[in-house]
Amino acid sequence: MKPKIADVAKVAGVSPTTVSRVLNNRGYIGEETRVKVHNAMKELNYYPNEVARSLFIRKTFLIGLIFPTTSNPFYGQLIFHIENIAAALGYKVLLCNSQGRQDKEKEYLEMLQRNQVDGIIAGAHNKGIEEYEKPNLPVVGIDRYLSSAIPVISSDNYDGGKQATQLLIRKGCIKIIHINGPISLETPANLRRKAYEDVMIKHNLTPITYEMETYGTDNSEIIKRLFDENPEVEGVFASDDIIASQVIKEAKSRNYNIPSKLKIIGYDGTETKKLMMPELSTIEQPISRIAEKAVELLIKQIDSEWDGAPLETKLPVKLIDSDTTKK
Amino acid sequence: MKPKIADVAKVAGVSPTTVSRVLNNRGYIGEETRVKVHNAMKELNYYPNEVARSLFIRKTFLIGLIFPTTSNPFYGQLIFHIENIAAALGYKVLLCNSQGRQDKEKEYLEMLQRNQVDGIIAGAHNKGIEEYEKPNLPVVGIDRYLSSAIPVISSDNYDGGKQATQLLIRKGCIKIIHINGPISLETPANLRRKAYEDVMIKHNLTPITYEMETYGTDNSEIIKRLFDENPEVEGVFASDDIIASQVIKEAKSRNYNIPSKLKIIGYDGTETKKLMMPELSTIEQPISRIAEKAVELLIKQIDSEWDGAPLETKLPVKLIDSDTTKK
DNA sequence: TTGTATGCGTTATCAG
DNA sequence: CTGATAACGCATACAA
């Protein structure tokens, strides 16, 4: 059986209270007793039981993470940073892959409450989860509007969309098409589309946006349709690098030369993307800064130090002008 | 304040014990009281406190996960599946990114013990962590020998290395070079190298292996050296797809035509790789099956149903013969 | 079928 | 400077 405070106390010849005091460096303790207790702890290989501790202090130092899937390098990298920063601040993370499924997200939300997490960072969202409306718990959203009172962290999606579109225009593209996720999901990422449309119109060009199905669906049909309906396309701004990679694949199979005939730019710019497809131009999100801000804001809420603002934080993106947008 | 069993009991007009019984479906309970209790729970929006429950039953249904980083798509995908399967079996996961650092791994190991996790699945390992030697806790390793008593799950690394090497030979390569991680780290992945060497020797070819530094280091120098020292190289078997992508990049910058002049095959075959670099040939690991086996074996240990065998489980790989190994 | 008393391992309060 | 006692929220043995 695992040793508990009482066992340590017995070995050290003191009371459980004293052991607890040594453990938490609380109140005054004699130097001798401190040494005795430390020795006893070492001898028994004692570890304090955080579950009992959590129960008493009513705080777990646990943060719940709800994201679609760690399989996607963007979320993988984001979660890596979140976990890291949280760990540095004494918090642990409970991981949930919602797979974009509303039922799963609801279940996880309940599970996290039962497990008394101190707060939640969520990047998954299927509209209409009323649980977020009455947040009896600190929550921070990443690229997702969860409810009117929940702060959101994201990259500067409008600026990103603007830079991407402007780059294609600057490189001489006229017929430029945008591919985005479902607009019904009201995410800040919709601003990428808005910026694309604004820039196109400003340049007297016609915006055409193809909309993808929700997460997890096979989108190759939509991309095929894009090429069938617009054989003369010169530029594609895909709302993430994975979609961009699918566009590249389809374009190659149709013998479009990239970048001379067709230029492509994506969005995200993960480390994995940089290694696996360095040739793809993209808008790089400041993933580690997003993670930092999210954790910072969540912990502020947990410590009741948050005054309700800012409700929206937009972090600057970085244009990566690589081979797929060469002139 | 969050409602507790006593509050529900008061509203329902019964004793706390009865509420607990309804909650756990234990013993006999009158239909009326059951309804009354359920109503009270709904009215108060009651969620049982799993922390208190865990303390009492001395079980948390928590699994600790220690891996280098979720940023890497292989670990990201593996963790995705592990979390999924665990969730289906009523277990939650606590995520730890050790970044290949021994000090971090030790800290995490202690943290997980303090938090009373029921078991640990670890894919990170820096030699010489004696904590694994006296496992007072169920542990399963993935692609890592942790200690003589800890079971390991991995892909069939030897067969994978064999298939990769044989493919290159079959496609006409003579001068074939292998790139692997540090051999000092005694992982089953070393079998990829062993298989490569065996196959090469069997075909009267000279095996040459370049060794990478440990995780996180910049390996581009090593790859440059490979090309400097072996300009006439015809085939490269990289021990993972990311290394393979770096080889491709360097080869392109030196104007090696792939696959006519140089053929390349990697290892892992994640979903991300399939999307981002479909042209790369690889040995695909059965990631979801590895996850399944690991969780299954861990829970068997937790339930004391494990008899100590098998100590090693090797799951079959799949050769993906794509563009980079075209003849 | 339901209620009372007790303890899971910890910390805070208050007394000594 | 140190110790006894109660409480965190829940589930079990035992009694009614």
Residue A148 in tokens = 């009117």
The percent of residues above 70 in pLDDT, for chain B, comes to 96
A256-298 pLDDT, tens digit each: 999 999 999 999 999 999 999 999 999 999 999 999 999 999 9
Over range B303-308, report the average pLDDT: 93
pLDDT band at A217 (very low <50, low <70, confident <90, very high): low
Q: Which of A290, A283, A276, A274 is nearest to A84 (CA)?
A: A290
pLDDT band at A251 (very low <50, low <70, confident <90, very high): very high
Question: What is the pLDDT, as a whole number, of residue B215?
Answer: 59
pLDDT band at B135 (very low <50, low <70, confident <90, very high): low
Question: What is the pLDDT, as a whole number, of residue A175?
Answer: 97
- Higher-pLDDT residue of A53, A129: A53
Cβ neighbours of residue A129 under 8 Å, at least 6 residues apart?
Answer: A102, A105, A106, A109, A146
For residue B309, the distance in angstroms to the closest alpha carbon of chain A comes to: 25
Q: Residue B157 — φ and ψ, nearest 5°?
A: -60, -40
Nearest CB to A51 within list B55, B73, B275: B55
The percent of residues above 70 in pLDDT, for chain A, comes to 96
**Shared domain check, B251 and B205:** yes
Q: Which residues of A155-194 are buried (b: 16+ CB within 10 A; e: fewer)?
A: bbbbbbbbbbbbbbbebebebbbbbbbeeebebbbbbbbe
Q: Which of A88, A84, A87, A115 is nearest to A96 (CA)?
A: A115
User: Residue B20: which CATH number?
Assistant: 1.10.260.40
Distance CA B14, CA B216 (A): 60
Over range A90-112, report the average pLDDT: 94
Å between CA of A1 and C1' of C8: 13
Q: Is the peptide bond before B310 cis (omega within 30 degrees of 0)?
A: yes
For residue B78, the distance in angstroms to the closest alpha carbon of chain A comes to: 8
Answer yes or no: is B54 CB < 7 A from strand D. no
C-alpha to C-alpha distances, B34 to B9, B13, B43, B55, nearest whole angstrom? 11, 11, 14, 26
B185-197 pLDDT, tens digit each: 778 888 999 999 9
From the CB of residue B282, how many other CB atoms can be counted at a distance below 10 Å?
A: 29
Residue A199 in tokens = 């820039």
User: Parallel, antiparallel, or unpaired: how do β-strands B92-97 and B152-155 relate?
Assistant: unpaired
CB of B35 within 8 Å of a chain A CB? The answer is: no
Å between CA of A15 and C1' of C13: 16
C-alpha to C-alpha distances, B191 to B144, B158, B185, B188, B237, nearest whole angstrom? 12, 5, 12, 6, 13
Write out chain A residues lying below 8 Å of B80, CB-based.
69-71, 97
pLDDT band at B315 (very low <50, low <70, confident <90, very high): very high
Question: What is the pLDDT, as a whole number, of residue A135?
Answer: 61
**Shared domain check, A269 and A214:** yes
The percent of residues above 90 in pLDDT, for chain B, comes to 80
Over range B288-316, report the average pLDDT: 95
* pLDDT higher than 80, residue A134: no
Domain count across chain B:
3
**Shared domain check, B134 and B49:** no
DSSP state of A281: B
CB of B24 within 8 Å of a chain A CB? The answer is: no
For residue B147, the distance in angstroms to the closest alpha carbon of chain A comes to: 20
For residue A251, the distance in angstroms to the closest alpha carbon of chain B comes to: 13
Write out chain A residues lying below 8 Å of B71, CB-based.
73, 76-77, 80, 270-272
Over range A145-152, report the average pLDDT: 87
CB B131 within 8 A of CB B106: yes
Question: What is the pLDDT, as a whole number, of residue A27?
Answer: 76
**Shared domain check, A239 and A126:** no
User: Residue B188: which CATH number?
Assistant: 3.40.50.2300
Question: Last residue of some domain: B42, B57, B72?
Answer: B57
Over range B32-57, report the average pLDDT: 94
Question: What is the pLDDT, as a whole number, of residue B126?
Answer: 61
Nearest CB to B71 within list A51, A65, A77: A77
Residue contact A70–B83, C-beta within 8 A: yes
**DSSP secondary structure string, B119-145?**
EEEE----S--GGGTS-SS-EEEES--
pLDDT band at B217 (very low <50, low <70, confident <90, very high): low
Identity at A122, one-letter amino acid code: A
Cα of first residue to Cα of last residue in chain A, in angstroms, is 70
Answer yes or no: is B116 CB < 7 A from strand C. no
- Mark out the alpha helices in chain B (DSSP H runs): 5-12, 16-24, 31-44, 50-57, 73-88, 102-114, 157-170, 190-202, 220-229, 241-253, 271-276, 287-302
**Shared domain check, B206 and B269:** yes
Under DSSP, is residue B285 helix (H, G, I), strand (E, B) or coil?
coil
Å between CA of A148 and C1' of C9: 41
Nearest CB to B48 within list A71, A114, A245: A114
Identity at A51, one-letter amino acid code: V
Sheet containing A176-180: order of strands: A208-211, A176-180, A235-238, A263-265
Over range A138-147, report the average pLDDT: 90
* pLDDT higher than 90, residue B58: yes
**Shared domain check, A205 and A301:** no
Residue contact A93–B92, C-beta within 8 A: no
**Shared domain check, A168 and A102:** no
Question: Last residue of some domain: B38, B57, B76?
Answer: B57
CB of A33 within 8 Å of a chain B CB? The answer is: no
How deeply is B117 buried, as exposed, middle or buried, from its count of CB atoms within 10 A (0-12, 13-18, 19+)? buried
Residue contact B276–A273, C-beta within 8 A: yes
Q: Which residue of A has its CA nearest to B287?
A: A71
Residue contact A73–B71, C-beta within 8 A: yes
Question: What is the pLDDT, as a whole number, of residue B214?
Answer: 63
Cα angle value B10/B12/B15 (rounded, 5°): 60
Q: Residue B39 — φ and ψ, nearest 5°?
A: -60, -45
pLDDT band at B85 (very low <50, low <70, confident <90, very high): very high
**Shared domain check, A166 and A21:** no
**Shared domain check, A281 and A202:** yes
**Shared domain check, B108 and B49:** no
CB of A69 within 8 Å of a chain B CB? The answer is: yes
Å between CA of B181 and C1' of D9: 50
Question: Helices B31-44 & B16-24, crossing angle to 10 degrees?
Answer: 90
Question: What is the pLDDT, as a whole number, of residue A242?
Answer: 94
Å between CA of A24 and C1' of C12: 12
The three state secondary structure string of A8-49 is: HHHHHCCCHHHHHHHHHCCCCCCHHHHHHHHHHHHHHCCCCC
Distance CA B119, CA A258 (A): 50
Q: Of A138-152, B17-31, B81-95, which has the strongest mean pLDDT?
A: B81-95
How high is the mean pLDDT of chain A? 93
Nearest CB to A95 within list B55, B83, B114: B83
**Shared domain check, A37 and A81:** no
Residue B15 in tokens = 């004793």
DSSP state of A317: P
* pLDDT higher than 70, residue A85: yes
**Shared domain check, B226 and B118:** no
Range of the domain at B272: 157-286+318-325
* pLDDT higher than 90, residue A183: no
Å between CA of A17 and C1' of D3: 7
pLDDT band at A133 (very low <50, low <70, confident <90, very high): low
